[in-house]
Amino acid sequence: MENKAGTKTINKTKAGRRAGMILSVIACFVILVVCIRAGSVYISLKDLASIVASHVTGRPLPAEVAPMMDSIFWTIRMPRAVVAFLIGGCLAVSGAVMQALLQNPLASSYTMGVSSGACLGAAIVLVSGISLPFILPVTSFAFGLATVVIVLAFTAVIDRMSSNTTVILIGMVFSLFVTGIMNFLATLFSDHYKRLWLWMMGSFSARNWTHVAIVLPVALICTLIVVFFTRELDIMTFGEEQSKAMGVETKKVKTILIIVSSILTGVSVSVAGVIGFVDLVAPHVVRKLFGPEHRTLIPMSFIYGGAFMALSDLIARTVLSPQEIPIGAVTALIGAPFFAYVFFAGRKKG
């Protein structure tokens, strides 16, 4: 599979790799600024900087910046771009972790049923008509995580060794089962179907600083936990038994990391709906560029996934403006051909 590709990575020289990483961080920052500025209302870099500065330092806004600009950029565009970036990062890290743990280049925490669980949770909230603040994201998060826990528990009962094939199979069976329940509910209460469908397609519209405040700590803490396990992740790509022989507590590491990456995916789905492809594309691109070692793969996946998502959202809100394209459609429309290009272009050379 992946290993057949004749990869010419820049990981040969340490200096080259480091330069590549620094460039990536700078490019990512530029992309974020572009995403914030692009749109029907123009703002100069200087004005944007003074808006940010006034909010960060608490000083009043300079007189030459119109208050309307402040509300457009500080209240609408910036948090939207930042949430998109963070969620892209969360999904990419979670994808990288699941691919290593399950030794499957196509795995993601969607494989474990996070998204179908989250959708069922959302469906129940929408159908029941309960409206409390944040009830939708909280319930979908809880359902997403619960599905993963059930999948893990079920796997442990059926297969004492909890082999990857069993995990993937049970994850898929539960995903389909839970999606079935959701479809059943959606049919019974078809008036709510459009809202549910829109929610599932994913969107960053109207996301504000509160959403940033929810996603940011989860993204930071979970990614940091993953970073502490990067050596174990490297070893576990060589198989569970070999990892044990090399001294890794595989069961413990696997459980912790599956839960952490499910939290990353769960929080993303509950805030922005189901968005595919970022979790698959970003880690693979990073592996091509920097090699498979998780010490660089995890942080770089966050950056690439974040930048990819921010750009996708830019496209989603500008191309058919004022209408928005569902973000999930954009990531797939760009992601699939790009992924094919990266994957097969590398293969031909090899």
Binder to another protein among 38, 54, 105, 343 (CB under 8 A)?
Answer: 105
What's the closest the beta carbon of residue 297 comes to another protein, in angstroms? Answer: 9
What whole-number distance in Å separates Cα of residue 79 and Cα of residue 83? 6
Rule CB under 8 A: say whether 70 interacts with another protein.
no
Rule CB under 8 A: say whether 248 interacts with another protein.
yes
Rule CB under 8 A: say whether 239 interacts with another protein.
yes
Q: Angle formed by the axes of helices 14-37 and 78-101, to 10°?
A: 140
DSSP for 165-213, written as a single string: HHHHHHHHHHHHHHHHHHHHHHHHTGGGHHHHHHHHH---TT--HHHHH
Site track 270-299 with another protein (rule: CB under 8 A), x = hit = -----------------x---xxx-x----
Rule CB under 8 A: say whether 42 interacts with another protein.
no
Rule CB under 8 A: say whether 237 interacts with another protein.
yes
Q: Are 50 and 62 within 8 A, CB to CB?
A: yes
b/e map 292-313, b = 16+ CB within 10 Å: bebebbbbbbbbbbbbbbbbbb
DSSP for 269-280, written as a single string: HHHH----SHHH
Q: What radius of gyration do the chain's Cα atoms show?
A: 21
Q: Are 192 and 319 within 8 A, CB to CB?
A: no
For another protein, the closer of residues 195 and 231 by Cβ is 231
Amino acid at 102: L
Rule CB under 8 A: say whether 94 interacts with another protein.
no
Binder to another protein among 30, 246, 319, 320 (CB under 8 A)?
Answer: 246
Q: Which of residues 160-199 bind another protein (CB under 8 A)?
A: 160-161
What whole-number distance in Å separates Cα of residue 255 and Cα of residue 273? 25
Q: Are 350 and 5 within 8 A, CB to CB?
A: yes
What's the closest the beta carbon of residue 247 comes to another protein, in angstroms? Answer: 3
**Contact range with another protein by CB under 8 A, out of 135-143, 213-221, 237-245, 309-317:** 237-245
What whole-number distance in Å separates Cα of residue 308 and Cα of residue 28? 9
**Contact range with another protein by CB under 8 A, out of 73-81, 85-93, 96-104, 190-198:** 96-104
**Contact range with another protein by CB under 8 A, out of 19-27, 75-83, 122-130, 232-240:** 232-240
Binder to another protein among 26, 157, 217, 249 (CB under 8 A)?
Answer: 249
**Contact range with another protein by CB under 8 A, out of 22-30, 228-236, 257-265, 321-329:** 228-236
Q: Report how far Cα 105 is from the mean position of its chain's Cα atoms.
A: 16
Q: Which of 228, 316, 240, 232 is nearest to 278 (CA)?
A: 316
What's the closest the beta carbon of residue 106 comes to another protein, in angstroms? Answer: 10
For another protein, the closer of residues 11 and 54 by Cβ is 11
User: Which tokens belong to 341?
Assistant: 């290009």
Q: Are 230 and 298 within 8 A, CB to CB?
A: yes
Q: Report how far Cα 323 is from the mean position of its chain's Cα atoms.
A: 24
Binder to another protein among 66, 153, 195, 241 (CB under 8 A)?
Answer: 241
For another protein, the closer of residues 116 and 250 by Cβ is 250
Rule CB under 8 A: say whether 244 interacts with another protein.
yes
For another protein, the closer of residues 70 and 293 by Cβ is 293
For another protein, the closer of residues 51 and 170 by Cβ is 170
Q: Angle formed by the axes of helices 278-290 and 327-349, to 10°?
A: 30
What's the closest the beta carbon of residue 12 comes to another protein, in angstroms? Answer: 6
Give me the residues that bind another protein (CB under 8 A), please. Answer: 1-7, 9, 11-12, 99-100, 103-105, 160-161, 227-228, 231, 234-235, 237-239, 241-242, 244-250, 287, 291-293, 295
